[in-house]
């Protein structure tokens, strides 16, 4: 693939700076040369993309932290992800968020992968430096931050059930295990996919992989946290779980956001669960992690979460 490299990104310049301060160094180089400072370019790529909240989130982070950035939403054609990213880089783009269905394409595009992205097998944020393209996956850490910081729930010593073994669930397993639950049970309709995740992550903590019929077996008991990382709610469906999975003082978390009480959240509420949450906090927290990675500054997420929250009822 041929990429035109802007003058300021020559290799010898980039060698002088460490990863975390690359942005500041580029800026000062450009200022020394008296170059007119254009806004730094970022974007989210997906298909479809009209529903995305990422521009709103990143531009509000930029405003709050005094950063001068452009943030666009780009719809890439299916099968045309690489060409869209090549063009974005030629135009000087510095980073991308990646949403469905391109997280695997982004994984394949990267020249370097951070540990979380490598283990998840999916990339949701990319950073472009000289001739290096680094891939990260902030979905899991975004969810973990929302649960532990915003919702005040510790996972340490708790029993956690993760429903689903698709793209989002894959990114969640490692950050969850890092929180030290007594048990992480992955439940999936296609049991072999859950088992594959179980095998891949077993060295990182206590993980069990099962299907829904095994979950119905009362010997598995109740959970302190039940996370719906399936796409069932997108079609108004409910994963086949019984209300008995929800323990006393359980948090029921739905990854889908902005849709009010999904069948999963309704089941939890009807089972007496007091703490219900959708994925808006996860969305904003993963964006904040990408923003820190790109810009070196941590935005406040509370205001943005509040702005985007659709009441559950």
Q: What binding mask, one character per residue, do residues 103-122 give for ligand NDP by CB under 6 A, x or -?
A: --------------------
For residues 67 and 297, the answer to whether their CB atoms sit within 8 Å is: yes
Per CB under 6 A, 166 contacts ligand NDP: yes
Per CB under 6 A, 255 contacts ligand NDP: yes
The whole-angstrom separation of Cα 274 and Cα 276 is: 6
Per CB under 6 A, 72 contacts ligand NDP: no
Per CB under 6 A, 181 contacts ligand NDP: no
For ligand NDP, the closer CB: 14 or 57: 57
Place of tokens 């829904």: 212
Q: What is the DSSP letter of 38?
A: P
Instruction: Of 176, 206, 209, give the one whose Cα is nearest residue 192.
Output: 209
Q: What binding mask, one character per residue, do residues 132-161 give for ligand NDP by CB under 6 A, x or -?
A: -------x----------------------
103 counts as catalytic: yes
For residues 282 and 138, the answer to whether their CB atoms sit within 8 Å is: no
Torsion (CA) 302, 306, 309, 311 in degrees, nearest 10: 120
Q: Looking at beta carbons, which residue is closest to ligand NDP? A: 166
Per CB under 6 A, 175 contacts ligand NDP: no
Choose the catalytic residue: 41, 103, 114, 127: 103
Number of residues forming the site for ligand NDP (CB under 6 A): 27
Q: Using a CB cutoff of 8 Å and minimum separation of 24, what contacts does 77-83 make?
A: 77/47, 78/47, 81/45, 81/105, 81/106, 81/109, 82/1, 82/109
Per CB under 6 A, 97 contacts ligand NDP: no
Per CB under 6 A, 173 contacts ligand NDP: no
Identify which range of 56-64, 70-78, 230-238, 295-303 contacts ligand NDP by CB under 6 A: 230-238
For residue 209, cis peptide bond before it (omega within 30 degrees of 0): no
Sorted by sequence, the CB contacts under 8 Å of residue 301 that are 6+ apart come out as 150, 281, 284, 285, 288
> Catalytic positions, please?
103
| Binding stretches for ligand NDP (CB under 6 A) | 100, 139, 164-169, 188-190, 193, 229-234, 237, 239, 255-257, 279, 282-283, 286
């Amino acid at each position: 693939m041929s990429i035109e490299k802007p003058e300021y990104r020559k290799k010898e310049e980039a060698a002088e700076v460490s990863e975390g301060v690359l942005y500041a160094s580029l800026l000062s180089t450009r200022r020394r040369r008296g170059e007119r400072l254009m806004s730094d370019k970022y974007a989210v790529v997906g298909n479809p993309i009209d529903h995305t909240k990422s521009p709103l989130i990143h531009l509000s982070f930029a405003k709050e932290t005094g950063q001068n950035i452009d943030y666009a939403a780009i719809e890439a054609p299916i099968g045309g992800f690489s060409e869209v990213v090549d063009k974005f880089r030629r135009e000087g783009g510095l980073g991308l968020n990646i949403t469905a269905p391109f997280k695997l394409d982004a994984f394949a595009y990267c020249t370097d992968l951070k540990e979380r992205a490598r283990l998840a097998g999916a990339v949701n944020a990319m950073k472009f430096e000289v001739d290096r393209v680094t891939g990260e996956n902030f979905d899991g850490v975004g969810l973990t931050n929302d649960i532990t910081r915003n919702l005040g729930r510790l996972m340490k010593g708790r029993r956690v059930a993760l429903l689903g073994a698709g793209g989002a669930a894959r990114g969640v397993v490692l950050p969850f295990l890092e929180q030290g639950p007594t048990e992480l049970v992955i439940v999936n309709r296609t049991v072999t996919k859950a088992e594959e995740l179980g095998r891949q992550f077993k060295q990182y903590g206590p993980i069990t992989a099962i299907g829904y019929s095994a979950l119905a077996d009362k010997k598995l008991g109740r959970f302190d946290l039940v996370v719906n990382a399936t796409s069932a709610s997108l079609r108004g469906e409910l994963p086949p779980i019984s209300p008995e999975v929800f323990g006393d003082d359980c948090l029921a978390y739905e990854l889908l956001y902005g849709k009010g009480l999904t069948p999963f959240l309704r089941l939890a509420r009807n089972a007496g669960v007091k703490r219900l949450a959708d994925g808006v906090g996860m969305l904003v927290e993963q964006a904040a992690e990408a923003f820190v990675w790109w810009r070196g500054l941590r935005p406040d997420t509370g205001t943005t979460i509040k702005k985007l929250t659709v009441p559950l009822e």
